Amino acid sequence: MRSLWLVLLAGAILTGLIRPAQAQATPGQAVYAVTSFDVAPAQFGKAADLLRQFAAATRKEDGNIELTALDEVGRTSRFVIIEAWRDKARFDAHGAAMKALGDELQPFFIAPFSTRPYAALSVAATPPDANLGTAMYVVTHVDVFPAGKDETNAAVKQLAADSRKDKGEERFDALIWEEHPNHFELIEAWTNHQARETHALADHTKAFRAKLTPFEGAPYDERLYEVVR
């Protein structure tokens, strides 16, 4: 009877009727989050003002590692907020401030906050400089089929290590969505457009894209940003 029960349980897991427990952030482990939202173009300036104030205040909070506010190049409606906190407790405590910001931005929204929590996959030891105001940022969401997550994990780590050696690199961090480990976020900063273009044409970048293509579950979502200023 026990062996029959085990067979039925295994079958339920495989068919999706029962889901295995999801991975959770380890206490004391840094927590990252990427939040995107869209506002009416006519309200871009007002939204940017609120974000500048919010970023400056958040960087003074206990446990904050990073708060970077970005707007998409060539699109006066899309913003991204990148957060990093020393642990989940501080990340959760900041939730009330994020909600208050969302409430302030509500009249301007085309699309409200969409937030994804991440853990570090390959993150530089030194926190990013909040004053990289002239840098060109690139934020890329990588979505692969679950069967290819391990190969993608290794490829993303290798890309981060190689890219940090590229001329003009100011930041190259790779994050992973722990509850959905087939989703990754790449956060890059380059001194200028030419440095970013040179990186895009580098052999190691092209090799990464070639490895990734067979596993992609969605189009490679790479977008250019600049710091809100």
3-state class (DSSP) for residue 205: helix
CATH of 29-227, picked from 3.50.50.60, 3.30.70.100, 3.20.20.60, 3.40.50.410, is: 3.30.70.100
Q: Enumerate the domain spans of the chain.
A: 29-227
169-176/136-143 β-pairing? unpaired
pLDDT in tens, the chain (229 residues): 444 333 333 443 333 332 223 334 444 599 999 999 999 999 999 999 999 999 999 999 999 999 999 999 999 999 999 999 999 999 999 999 999 999 999 999 999 999 999 999 999 877 776 666 678 999 999 999 999 999 999 999 999 999 999 999 999 999 999 899 999 999 999 999 999 999 999 999 999 999 999 999 999 999 999 999 8
pTM for this predicted structure: 0.85
Residue with structure tokens 């009416």?
Answer: 40
Smallest Cα–Cα separation from 202: which of 148, 149, 164, 152?
164
Residue 23 to residue 206: CA distance in whole angstroms: 32
